[in-house]
Amino acid sequence: MHEIVVGRRKEDLKDYGIKCSGYIGKHIVGEREEAHLTNQIVLDLLRPHVMLICGKRGTGKSYSAGVIMEEIALLPEEYRKNLTAVVIDTMGIYWSTKIPNEQQVVELDKWGLKPTGLKDRVKVYVPFEQKKSFEDANIPIDFGISIAPHEFSGEDWALAFNLPMTNPIAVALQKTVNKLNDRGEKFQINDLMSEITDGRSIDTQTKSTLESMLSVASQWGVFGEEGIKIEEIMKPGTVNVFDVSRLRATEAWSVRNLLVALISRKIYEQRVIARKQEELAKMGEIELKNRKPMVWLFIDEAHQFIPADTVTVSTGPLLTIVKQGREPGISFIPMTQMPNKIHPEVVSQCDIVISHRLTSRDDLKALHSVMQTYLAEDMWKYIDSLPKWMGTAIILDDNSERIYTVQMRPRLSWHAGEAAIAVNV
């Protein structure tokens, strides 16, 4: 029986068949209770994609994203060495991909699959000041990370504090940060504070507001001298999980947004340079020693990082990846419960959508911009026809202009996102 290859170009199908693809599920034929599973569905991992994973709460988004991470980490070496996954984990659930899925052995067996942990192919990073609290909870952590204040522009800082750009506090902050950056100083928060305290053009009220904001920021537990060395992180064939789940509610989104801004900017810069080197090597001009892997960037709760209605510090860097990531080889996989809350540019740039059940037709309308060859009403019918099993979805594939109904396969590695139940396990 033939596999259905989602996201693969016709010419690639001729040249590569189903090589460098990932087994994600099976095609559902028939509706609701009459439905049964047929052909395998595999996902193209050869080229970059913008792929939205959506669906209402508890329908399998994080689980499905985990399936794709597994496929990347378990590709044959010749492909695996050219790819790396970066995961922004807001729920703290992907560390468990290190461990085999012994909780669904029966389910896996039905699919002819075996529990498989990704072990050291998964690296888990947490803000350095939280490393101990994760370890105390017996969560396997590989590294504590810090971000360096000087890696952000004045505008970034103002956005991180949710300040409108014209606000006098934002203006003073931007000027000071940009001044320090222009001097090429690798400043810390303390340096920024003293510069503000000494600033002659800043009034006392603004000074004291900024001082207290910065003193709160210095306690976020993420700022340090080192910063993130993306080239050390983007090791070929690995899944790099940034667990940002355990931040205090008051500051959580500022820190997460700053981190995502920084990581996505660095990924982009690194891949743009790498792409040039790959071209030069192809021309025979240079010899490529360490090929930098192409990146798959997964972001859970993506509407918080690149929302439809406001601008956050991560909006700009993520939009760059969405609009210009294909050439340098960056795939972007946002997950959200509400596709109409995510920046419309993200949805319109998608070439693949995996949509589990949705709550409202408004969300479906948002998806319609991806595949206008279908009527929104027809798309709704596909969703409506899905059997009520766990992990069913529709896949919109703009490459083949087709819609498929799919049962996502069970996870090989442990899924830690199970909803809590009120009995001891």
Residues of the shown chain interacting with Mg ion in the complex, contacts defined by CB under 5 A: 61-62
**CB of 336 vs ligand ATP, minimal distance in Å:** 8
| Binding segment (CB under 6 A) for ligand ATP, from list 108-116, 223-231, 319-327, 415-423 | 415-423
* The only residue of 100, 127, 325, 391 in contact with ligand ATP, by rule CB under 6 A: 391
Q: Which structure tokens are listed for 76?
A: 């044959």
Q: Is the Cβ of residue 62 or residue 174 nearer to ligand ATP in the bound state?
A: 62
387 binds ligand ATP (CB under 6 A): no
* The only residue of 40, 59, 130, 315 in contact with ligand ATP, by rule CB under 6 A: 59
Q: Is the Cβ of residue 39 or residue 178 nearer to ligand ATP in the bound state?
A: 39
End-to-end Cα, the chain, rounded Å: 40
58 binds ligand ATP (CB under 6 A): yes
Q: Is the Cβ of residue 53 or residue 379 nearer to Mg ion in the bound state?
A: 53
339 binds ligand ATP (CB under 6 A): no
**CB of 346 vs Mg ion, minimal distance in Å:** 18
Measured in whole angstroms, the distance separating CA 219 from the mean position of its chain's CA atoms is: 26
**CB of 101 vs ligand ATP, minimal distance in Å:** 10
Q: At what angle do helices 204-218 and 168-182 cross, to 10 degrees?
A: 70
- What residue ranges in 4-153 does DSSP mark as E strands? 4-6, 21-29, 36-44, 51-54, 83-89, 122-127, 143-145
Q: Is the Cβ of residue 61 or residue 256 nearer to Mg ion in the bound state?
A: 61
* The only residue of 408, 412, 413, 414 in contact with ligand ATP, by rule CB under 6 A: 408
Q: Is the Cβ of residue 240 or residue 337 nearer to ligand ATP in the bound state?
A: 337
* The only residue of 63, 161, 187, 223 in contact with ligand ATP, by rule CB under 6 A: 63
**CB of 302 vs Mg ion, minimal distance in Å:** 11
Q: List alpha helices for 234-282, DSSP H.
A: 252-282
Q: At what angle do helices 252-282 and 315-324 cross, to 10 degrees?
A: 30
- Backbone φ and ψ for 386, nearest 5 degrees, come out as -65, 135
| Cα separation, 230 vs 270, whole angstroms | 8
**CB of 299 vs ligand ATP, minimal distance in Å:** 13
277 burial type by CB count under 10 A (0-12 exposed, 13-18 middle, 19+ buried):
middle
**CB of 68 vs ligand ATP, minimal distance in Å:** 12
Q: Is the Cβ of residue 92 or residue 325 nearer to Mg ion in the bound state?
A: 92
Beta carbons of 255 and 222 less than 8 angstroms apart: yes
22 binds ligand ATP (CB under 6 A): no
| Binding segment (CB under 6 A) for ligand ATP, from list 52-60, 77-85, 195-203, 284-292 | 52-60
| Cα separation, 267 vs 299, whole angstroms | 14
Q: At what angle do helices 189-198 and 204-218 cross, to 10 degrees?
A: 170
127 binds ligand ATP (CB under 6 A): no
Nearest to 73 by CA among 120, 18, 12, 24: 120
Measured in whole angstroms, the distance separating CA 215 from the mean position of its chain's CA atoms is: 30
For binding to ligand ATP (CB under 6 A), which residues are involved? Answer: 55, 57-63, 337, 390-391, 408, 410, 415, 417-418
